[in-house]
Structure 1
Amino acid sequence: MTFAAYLSNIEKQTGVSPDEFIRLATEKGFTTSGTKATAITDWLKADYKLGHGHAMAIYKLLKEQDGLTN
């Protein structure tokens, strides 16, 4: 499965677009340098019922968008 397909499946499952996840993560302070993947994946699993793989895809999206580092 391609990364784009992962994002498409996530949007179908949650009703939230990739751009919207970026906005929401930014509002929560998750797009600052040094934010750990666990903080983001825990949020996505709790609030959006995403599995680990899909949550990590959103983390990857945020990391590539905002230059997060672990």
Structure 2
Amino acid sequence: MSFQAYLDNIQTKTGKTPADFRTLAASKGYANAKGLLPGIKAGDIVAWLKQDFELGHGHAMAIVALLKGMKKEGDR
């Protein structure tokens, strides 16, 4: 499955776009435009996404990769 397919599946399940998750992560103090804030671990983001959006681990990690800037929309 491509990275974009993960993002598409997440949007279908949650109704949230990647930009929405960036905004939500920033409002929760997890990230900014440059990536995750110091001291924030992937596990913090995964726990939030599992609790609030009922995402599985793989889909939550896709959002982590997006927030870290490791992957971007359209990546395979």
What TM-score do you get using the length of structure 2 for normalisation?
Answer: 0.82
Q: Which of 34, 38, 47 is 1:42 aligned to?
A: 47
Runs of 4+ in 1 over 6 A off after TM superposition: none
The count of residues paired between Structure 1 and Structure 2 equals 65
Ranges in structure 1 where 5+ consecutive residues have no aligned partner:
66-70
Q: Which of 43, 59, 69 is 1:64 aligned to?
A: 69
Q: Distance in 2 between matches of 1:34 and 1:61?
A: 17
Bigger relative contact order, structure 1 or 2, given CA contacts below 8 A and separation 6+? 2
For residue 25 of structure 2, what is the amino acid of its counterpart? A
Ranges in structure 2 where 5+ consecutive residues have no aligned partner:
32-36, 71-76
What percent identity do the matched residue pairs reach? 54
What TM-score do you get using the length of structure 1 for normalisation?
Answer: 0.88
Q: Distance in 2 between matches of 1:5 and 1:19?
A: 16
What displacement does 1:55 show?
Answer: 0.3
Structure (1 or 2) with the greater helix fraction? 1
Structure (1 or 2) with the greater strand fraction? 2
